[in-house]
């Protein structure tokens, strides 16, 4: 059974940093792409970052240069390092993966950026 468990998040001032973590089980982790999404109140869920099985990373224009996605294939974890945070980054963040065209999701973690 595919299982994704997130940790991290919290409250931070504008310009601050947070790091999110997602532990994955039930798949051959290193063969699968991993993604981070976010959803703010009243907004549609949007893709934030993606990392492929070969470690190539892509980012949404809104976070490029501020966020970094990485993966640890020994401990089956994907991370999202968030720097220079802005109030518009406030959202619930989700990690996700895909197996045979089926999406699997973490439980979500709140990130709030406010002074």
pLDDT computed for residue 37 by the predictor: 98
Residue 56 pLDDT class (50, 70, 90 cuts): very high
Where do the DSSP E strands lie in 8-108? 10-12, 18-25, 34-39, 46-51, 57-59, 67-72, 77-82, 91-99, 102-105
3-state DSSP helix/strand/coil % of the chain, to nearest 5: 5, 55, 40
Tally the C-alpha atoms within 13 A of residue 57's C-alpha that lie toward its C-beta. Answer: 18
* Type and span of the H or E element at 16: none
pLDDT computed for residue 6 by the predictor: 97
Two tokens, residue 49: 């970052």
């Amino acid at each position: 059974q595919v299982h994704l468990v997130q940790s991290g998040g919290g409250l931070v001032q504008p310009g601050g940093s947070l790091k999110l973590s997602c532990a994955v089980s039930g798949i051959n982790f290193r063969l699968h792409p991993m993604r981070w999404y976010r959803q703010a109140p009243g907004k549609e869920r949007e893709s934030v970052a993606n990392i492929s099985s070969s470690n190539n990373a892509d980012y949404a224009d809104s976070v490029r240069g501020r966020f970094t996605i990485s993966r640890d294939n020994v401990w089956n974890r994907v991370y999202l390092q968030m720097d220079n945070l802005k109030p518009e980054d406030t959202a619930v963040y989700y990690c996700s993966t895909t197996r045979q065209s089926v999406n699997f999701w973490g439980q979500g973690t709140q990130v709030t950026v406010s002074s």
